[in-house]
């Protein structure tokens, strides 16, 4: 019993820590974007996308971990299905915006836009990988 409760508390503390870190990175992204209003430097967008990418990854992993911790199988399957749908929608949005940003990068030879496109593509890819992992595990 102690091993199970110890494992459960480690899982819960990991989920809380990842959630807190993801919020920190999302706040850093907002700060970076707000700096863009003061200084029109595209690097602030790149920094914001990087911070949002890290925050999204942490949030996705914490959701994946917390799904495994739900004892009721029906509730776990329902939450897993809604999580997978949400991750798919967000990943498709990331891929769509990345395509637009890559188009701008190619048209204007703007490397900052190419980096933004890569960040968005990476975020979408990681969300698809996490959602696929949830599906394959049959959580």
Domain extents for the chain? 2-137
**Closest by Cα among 49, 23, 55, 22 to 36:** 49
Show the beta-strand stretches assigned E in the chain.
Answer: none
Q: Model confidence over 92-135: pLDDT tens digits?
A: 998 999 899 889 888 888 777 888 888 889 888 988 988 888 88
pLDDT the model gives residue 139: 58
Residue 106 dihedral angles phi and psi, to the nearest 5°: -70, -40
Tell me the pTM: 0.73
Measured CA to CA, the distance from residue 119 to residue 124 in angstroms comes to: 9
**Band (138; pLDDT cuts 50, 70, 90):** low
């Amino acid at each position: 019993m102690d091993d199970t409760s110890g494992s459960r508390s480690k899982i819960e503390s990991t989920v809380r820590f990842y959630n807190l870190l993801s919020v920190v990175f999302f706040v850093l992204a907002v700060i970076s974007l707000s700096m863009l209003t003061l200084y029109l430097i595209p690097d602030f967008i790149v920094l914001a996308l990087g911070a949002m990418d890290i925050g999204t990854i942490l949030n996705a992993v914490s959701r994946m971990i917390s799904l495994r911790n739900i004892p009721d199988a029906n509730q776990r399957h329902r939450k897993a299905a809604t999580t997978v749908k949400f991750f798919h929608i967000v990943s498709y949005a990331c891929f769509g915006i990345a395509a637009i940003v890559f188009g701008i990068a190619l048209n204007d030879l703007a490397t900052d836009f190419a980096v933004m496109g890569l960040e968005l593509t990476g975020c979408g890819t990681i969300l698809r990988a996490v959602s696929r992992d949830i599906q394959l595990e049959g959580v």
